[in-house]
Amino acid sequence: MALSVSRRLLRSFGSVLASGRCDSPSSLYPSFHASLGDILFCEELSPISKAGSSFLANRRLLTSFSTPESSGGAFPSNLLSAKPVVASEGTIGLCQDLVIPVTNFHYEDKGFTVLPGDVFDVPIRKDIVHRVVLWQLAKRQQGTHSTKTISEVSGTGRKPWNQKGTGRARQGSLRSPQFRGGSTMHGPKPRSHAFKLNKKVRRLGLKIALTARAAEGKLLVFDDFEVPTHKTKNIVNYVQQMENSKKLLLVDGILPEKLKLATQNLHYVNVLPAVGLNVYSILQHDTLVMSRAAVNEIVERMHTPIKR
């Protein structure tokens, strides 16, 4: 949880922030001692002019620090605000790096990992997600439906009766659509339903889906997906111990063979390689479980420049 920095601290670092960078507090204060208790987020100033206002962007995780009580007063107390800090919960879209614990199927503590804010903490845009889902569903549609035209229907080409003198309506062919077994006019033919969607929009949709799962607390990071055996009961026992989780999506760089065998008979647990992670699959599952390798691969993919 990011901690707000007091105004006096900002005034003291004014010259540093004005230059558009933030150095480590240990270089500013030699007696600085780091601890794992709290986390300080540094906001690099990148002025974005919009409606006459400048916004702070590119928030990055800097380091961890301790309060004067925990470090024996190493950090200057005159720079800390006496007002208690209350972190606003549920605030997303600030592009702040997230720190979440890492575990595995055996609930072992594997430390912490940092999720980049420009991938896992972007503003939520429902319209972008809607566009990406429509693009995915249209692209996966087979488009093999077909009907026969008048030239494809089997039958005689002879005129059924004379044009005049019979009292019946004039007809030119028994293969016309008004006759039984006739053709279909303007019916569907095999075609592709896919349409173009910019890569920037597709990439932003995946970032928004990952942000939504992280904000809901439904994004878990595992050190690895190694399971002792291919038995399905191990995965079933793990899922039953999870609260408010009905469908799981397991994402890894290279999926272990035992994990594939253990989950293939469970309709509520699916596995995907990191290269195949998509918005629609994330929305279909209420819990997303990723390995360290998958997180690194997704972040690298999101940071790769788009080739035009």
pLDDT digits (tens, 9 = 90+) for 230-262: 999 989 988 888 888 889 999 999 888 999 999
Decide: 205 and 84 in contact? Cβ < 8 Å: no
φ, ψ at 290 (rounded to 5°):
-125, 150
pLDDT number for residue 92:
80
Identify the CA nearest to 218 among candidates 88, 100, 41. 100
Range ranked top by mean pLDDT from 22-31, 41-50, 59-68, 262-271: 262-271
pLDDT at 60: 36
d(C-alpha 259, C-alpha 273), whole Å: 12
Query: Is the torsion defined by CA of 120, 58, 75, 2 positive or negative?
Result: negative
Identify which has the larger pLDDT, 37 or 283. 283
The model's pTM:
0.66
The torsion angles phi and psi of 275, rounded to 5 degrees, stand at -70, -20
How much of the chain exceeds pLDDT 90, in percent?
57
Facing residues of 54 across strands?
49
d(C-alpha 138, C-alpha 281), whole Å: 15
Contacts of 274 (CB under 8 A, 6+ apart): 251, 252, 253, 290, 293, 294, 297, 298
d(CA 66, CA 26): 12
CB-neighbour burial class of residue 121 (10 A; exposed 0-12, middle 13-18, buried 19+): buried
Radius of gyration of the chain, Cα coordinates, nearest whole angstrom:
30
Q: What is the pLDDT of residue 286?
A: 92
Beta bridge partners of 270: 249
Q: Quote the pLDDT of residue 90.
A: 55
Q: Could you tell me the end-to-end alpha-carbon distance of the chain, in angstroms, rounded to an integer?
A: 38
* Mean of all residue pLDDT scores within the chain: 77
Q: Which helix (H) or strand (E) holds 21?
A: none
How many other CB atoms are there within 10 angstroms of residue 136's CB atom? 19
Q: CA-based angle 88:104:102, to the nearest 5?
A: 35
On whether the CB atoms of residues 292 and 102 are closer than 8 A, the answer is yes
- Give the tens place of pLDDT for each residue, 4-20: 434 443 344 444 444 44
193 pLDDT more than 80:
yes
Q: What is the model's pLDDT at position 4?
A: 40
